[in-house]
Amino acid sequence: MHPGHISFLEMAKKLGDYLIVSLARSKNIYRIKGHQARHSERQRVKLMEAVRFVDKVVLGATNDYIGHILKYKPSVIALGYDQKHYTGKLEEKLAAQGLKVKIIRIAPYKPAIFKSSKLLSVKK
C-alpha cells in the first residue's frame, strides 16, 4: 500500500457513509497482471482492515465479479482511474440485475510517483 492507495480510499470514503473495499483475489491478480501479488490475500485483508476509514473489507469473487457487488448493493462504486478489467459496462450489467449504481472514477494521486507498477519496477 502506498500514498496513492490511501488517497484513493479517502476520496472513496467521501462518496458515502460506509466504505466497503473489495480486494482482488490472488488468482485474478495473476491472470490480469501476469505476476503474483506481493502479499497473500490474508495479509492484504489485514492491511486494509487497519486503515481507519475503511468500514468493511471483502474478497472479490474468483470468477463472478458481479455476484458480490449484488450482495452488498452499493449505491456508488469508486474505481481507480486505471482500473480497466471488469469495468466495461459495469453500470449497465448491474442495472440488468436490478441494481442502480453510480460508477465514479477516482482521479490519480501523483501517478508519476505512486503507481504500483512503477514502484514494483523500482524494487525489483
Residue 52 makes CB contacts below 8 A (sequence gap 6+) with none
**Residue recorded with cell 449505491:** 75
Structural domains in the chain (count): 1
What pLDDT sits at residue 2? Answer: 75
Are residues 22 and 44 in contact, defined by beta-carbon separation less than 8 angstroms? no
pLDDT at 22 over 80: yes
What pLDDT sits at residue 119? Answer: 41
Enclosing domain of residue 93: 3-123
Select from 76, 92, 108, 98 the least CA-distant residue to 4.
Answer: 108
Contacts of residues 37-44 at CB distance under 8 Å and 24 or more positions apart, as own/partner, are 38/120
Select from 50, 45, 47, 54 the least CA-distant residue to 12.
Answer: 54
Percent of the chain with pLDDT over 70: 86
Where residue 12 falls (left for φ over 0; alpha for ψ -120 to 50; beta otherwise) is alpha
Are residues 45 and 66 in contact, defined by beta-carbon separation less than 8 angstroms? no
What is the spatial distance between Cα 41 and Cα 22, in angstroms, rounded to a whole number?
A: 11
Q: How many residues does the chain have?
A: 124
> What tens digit of pLDDT does each residue of 55-114 get?
999 998 888 888 989 999 999 999 988 777 667 788 899 999 999 999 999 988 765 655
Instruction: Report which of residues 66 and 116 the model is more confident about.
Output: 66
| Cell output for 32 | 490480469
Instruction: Report which of residues 102 and 2 the model is more confident about.
Output: 102
CATH code for position 72: 3.40.50.620
